[in-house]
Amino acid sequence: MQRTKVKDLLQGAEEGKEVLLKGWVRTKRGNKYVNFIAVNDGSTINNLQVVADEKFSEESLKDITTGAAISVVGQLVASQGKGQAYEVQATSIEVVGKADPETYPLQKKAHSLEFLREIAHLRFRTNTFGAVFRVRNTLAFAVHRFFNEKGFVYMHTPIITASDAEGAGEMFRVTTLDPTNPPLTENGQVDYAEDFFGKATNLTVSGQLEGELAAMAFSDIYTFGPTFRAENSNTTRHLAEFWMIEPEMAFYDLKMNADLAEEFIKYIIRYALEHNREDIEFLGQRLAEEDKSKPQQERQEMTLLEKLEFVVSNDFERVTYTEAIDILVNSNHYKKKKFQYDVSWGVDLQSEHERYLVEKHFKKPVIVTDYPKDIKAFYMRLNDDGKTVAAMDILAPGIGEIVGGSQREERLDLLVERMKAVGIHEEDLWWYLDTRRFGGCPHAGFGLGFERMVQFVTGMGNIRDVIPFPRTPQNAEF
């Protein structure tokens, strides 16, 4: 007999038929004569109610406890009770895997996210994390779908890299040398010529530079892979291992780049709204519940669903860095000296400034462009004013920077000059510079932090709760 998933059973397509159902027990309730078992198999946030009437002895039901894996055969019927349209009238129930209620950590009540983080191997079985990871899956699929529909080529850029020139942060060393007794050079340094690759290697901090090489042949490419940063960051929006999406487009300028990023973000949110509405509704209720315990001022104006609907149906705000500085300097907030950090042209925007722009001033996602060249990376294209570069950051309410991108400097002389200024050796990036020597063209791209996107869509406040097993400083459990 073929197993049917809970999601399909709840549609009622097999009403009246005998069905086979497998899953995990969420709760059991009832009395001597009839028991109700809520079963979830991860296919949907909703449980299917299994009814075990008096022909099941108490003894035969005693191992059906929260967390146990069971297999049920029975008839799918319209429910006699309220709260669900269909239920399964059981004819046989097999306990496939017991879960000792004395030691099983999950209970049929709400747990704190912090506690669940400590039992990340079991937290998938909760409503909240079930919803989060179904949404994550849908968003990942939507990423590929979006780019595939647009004719982008999915490119696998290397995980291990010998280049540390990108400057996007501290890197994790990859080595097979004996850490207690490494080979040394004449002047006492570790001799990486002896190492596996014959040189010092690290885990990638970005696939962008390699992505640019591919874009110079396929026109439009994207990467979607793991990224590693050895920064000692302890925040709700940083991970040492995270997933990043990096499209790179030949013959794109900054505006086309921003247009694509906005279309992309709206597309994947809309896709999640269409395919995971119940999950998002549940997560929204969770947030609303959480909000009740907060002071009035900190409460959300919109529900999660309203926020997402708003984002997909309204244009993102677009301002230049210079305009953003003007807005901040002329704000009442600034005049009342409520910013901890001062604002002036040339300094990077602090978190509090970004939050003000996004959450107080515009109240929607904001694309900030044309930053001073000195606070941005060497590969960004110099604007005609000679002091700003064609950079763009997309700032999202509650998350901050969700996208960082730019039009790339395609002019060899200017690029080399910029590399010299920041101390990057030409010979280390000879292959990168070759794309400017041979058939170079204007091009642009951006990086989107996938977990930050999942945070935005699920409303989860801590990035550690939107990746299955988070890697952060001092923590690589599971």
Q: Could you tell me which stretch among 15-23, 31-39, 264-272, 433-441 binds RNA (CB under 7 A)?
A: 31-39
Question: Taking CB under 7 A as the criterion, which residues in 359-418 touch RNA?
Answer: 400-404
Residue count of the chain:
478
At residue 158, the 3 state secondary structure works out as coil
Among 232, 421, 431, 478, indicate the residue that binds RNA (CB under 7 A).
232
* 31 vs 332, beta carbon nearer RNA: 31
Q: Is residue 107 helix, strand or coil?
A: coil
| Shortest Cβ 118–RNA spacing (Å) | 7
Work out which of 168, 273, 329, 412 binds RNA, going by CB under 7 A: 168
User: Which pairs from 212-217 meet CB under 8 Å and 24+ separation?
Assistant: 212/248, 212/408, 212/432, 212/435, 212/443, 212/445, 213/431, 213/432, 213/435, 214/153, 214/155, 214/157, 214/248, 215/248, 215/249, 215/250, 215/443, 215/445, 216/250, 216/435, 216/439, 216/440, 216/441, 216/443
Task: Name the nearest CA neighbour of 76 among 28, 10, 22.
Answer: 10
For β-strands 220-228 and 153-154, DSSP reports them as parallel
* Touching RNA, residues 298-327 (CB under 7 A): none
| Residues in region 454-473 near RNA by CB under 7 A | 461-464, 473
The contact pattern for RNA, residues 189-228, with x = CB under 7 A and - = no contact, is: -----------------x----------------------
Does residue 476 bind RNA (CB under 7 A)? no
Shortest Å distance, C-beta 10 to RNA:
13
Letters for 417-456 (x = contact with RNA by CB under 7 A, - = none) are ------------------------------xxx-xx----
Yes or no: say if 183 and 190 are a contact pair by the CB < 8 Å rule. Answer: yes
Q: What is the largest CA-CA distance in the chain?
A: 84
Q: Which residue stretch of 189-197, 309-317, 347-355, 431-439 sits at the interface with RNA (rule: CB under 7 A)?
A: 347-355
In angstroms, give the least distance from the CB of 331 to RNA: 17
- Over the window 127 to 166, marking each residue x when it contacts RNA by CB under 7 A and - when it does not, the resulting string is ----------------------------------------
Closest CA to 331 of 298, 355, 307: 355
What separation in angstroms does the CA of 435 have from each of 204, 215, 257, 377, 443? 20, 10, 20, 18, 11
Give the residue, chosen from 84, 175, 285, 303, that forms a contact with RNA under the rule CB under 7 A. Answer: 84
**Selected binder of RNA within 181, 234, 313, 344 (CB under 7 A):** 234
Please select the residue that binds RNA; options are 2, 55, 59, 80, rule is CB under 7 A: 80
Task: Determine if 187 is a binding residue for RNA (CB under 7 A).
Answer: no
Cβ closest to RNA, residue 192 vs residue 343: 343
The residue among 219, 202, 223 whose CA lies nearest residue 211 is: 223
Q: How far is the CB of 229 from RNA (least distance, A)?
A: 5
- Work out which of 3, 16, 94, 115 binds RNA, going by CB under 7 A: 115
Check if the beta carbon of residue 166 is closer than 8 Å to that of residue 203.
no
Of 3-11, 28-36, 192-200, 325-333, the segment contacting RNA by CB under 7 A is 28-36
Closer Cβ to RNA, 192 or 379, answer by number: 379
Identified binder of RNA from the candidate list 54, 291, 342, 374, rule CB under 7 A? 54
Question: Least separation, in Å, of the C-beta of 441 and RNA?
Answer: 23
Return d(Cα 258, Cα 403) in angstroms, integer: 10
- Full 3-state SS string of 214-283: HHHHHCEEEEEEEEECCCCCCCCCCCCEEEEEEEEEECCCHHHHHHHHHHHHHHHHHHHHHHCHHHHHHH
Segment near RNA (CB under 7 A); pick from 138-146, 180-188, 193-201, 348-356: 348-356
Question: Are 260 and 152 spatial neighbours (Cβ–Cβ below 8 Å)?
Answer: no
Tell me the three-class secondary structure of 399-458, residue by residue.
Answer: CEEEEEEEEECCCHHHHHHHHHHHCCCHHHHHHHHHHHHCCCCCEEEEEEEHHHHHHHHH
Nearest residue (CB) to RNA, 229 versus 373: 229
Between residues 25 and 195, which has the closer beta carbon with respect to RNA?
A: 25
Nearer to RNA, 48 or 415 (CB): 48
Name which of residues 88 to 107 contact RNA (CB under 7 A).
89, 101-102, 105, 107
